[in-house]
Structure 1
Amino acid sequence: MRVLLVEDDKPLSAALSQSLRTANHAVDCVFCGKDALNAVLDDQTDLVILDLGLPDIDGLDVLKSIRQKSKAMPVIILTARDKITDKILGLDAGADDYLPKPFEMDELLARLRVIERRQGTAATAIVSVNNVSLNTQTLELFIDNEIVSLPRRELMLLKALMENAGRIQSKQKLESRLYEWGEEVVSNTIEVHIHHLRKKLPDKFIKTIRGVGYSIPQKGS
């Protein structure tokens, strides 16, 4: 998942982004409300983690602006404002979740997984297509009940495809799920990852839609 982290405390932002990347999320970091709103307009973000105490625009106003632009964009508030009245204000302003600081990273990751399941096609952490199963929580891949090891990028790519089984995913959309701002992406990167995945997956599991992107079959097809 492509996460936009809006946190003006740079040491905390660095620690959070590292933990999110370890959990196989792509993370873009901004440190003020203006940059957050510009990033949301780029339409490459899957979820926003939003601090409220920003230096230029109050986080609640940022949230309200996000909601004007996107009703569906998931937003988790992560803030030191821990009073129940603050939580009510945040949720009423359109937040999907509200986590006061200090917090446990495992809890934040669990809340992200809940939102992922809500957005995706799977009701549980296990996404299965025919004889291929992926645990989106542990990122363990099973083919015919045998565990298969994949590099991080290939796992992220396969996850994006399996969560959208039956729907075409463009090359640009897949790149946005795997790579963050500033990362150099050569023109054939996705093709290379797809090539390596196909060597490990059942024959014709990933279908190329020429000039459009890639898809995998729906369960049973």
Structure 2
Amino acid sequence: MKLLTESQITQVFERFRLNNPEPKTELIAPNPYCLLVSVVLSAQATDKSVNVACAPLYEKVRTPEQMLELGEEKLISYIKSIGLYRAKARHVMGLSKRLVQDFNSTLPSTREELESLPGVGRKTANVILNVVFKQPTMPVDTHLLRICPKIGLAEGNNPLQVEKSLLERIPSRYMEHAHHWLILHGRYVCTARNPKCEECIISDLCAHNF
């Protein structure tokens, strides 16, 4: 697959920036701790399904202490509509316990510490580092893994390869918002089935069209 040039990549992200200057995560959470919970719950689930399940949960639970007080079975009653809910409930209770015991109930700001929490892998850690701590990370989900090589923004066949390629190729000034632009593009425009190329603001640059 053809890779875009440095100039073309700049054009891609400048168009994304002009179209949506301040993109946000679509997960709805009242604070960083709740965002971490939502990201863990969103694995193999849609943001919308997580938001629906968590809206009543976050009316009662906003801290790791409150989550531990709620308990695993009660948590399950809120998140049963989400896939893999039993394993995810165990992860949420485990990470909440670790946050209280080892991190003074606040989110750590390093990848190593975040990945030491139950249920937190590289992608989840990258989301928290980017959204909460404004670090230039690149969480690669199924959307980015699918569209970035297709567009010509990155090369690679797995999330880590695509992540490293994007970090090398995207200009630093776009990195704070880059993964949000790409996720939204994959979710709503460059869809897996019937991509909306006629609506795409980067269709003339996309390597898939050449």
TM-score for both structures, normalised by structure 1:
0.35
| Larger RCO: 1 or 2 (CA < 8 Å, sep 6+) | 2
Normalized per residue, which structure has more strand? 1
Normalized per residue, which structure has more helix? 2
TM-score for both structures, normalised by structure 2:
0.37
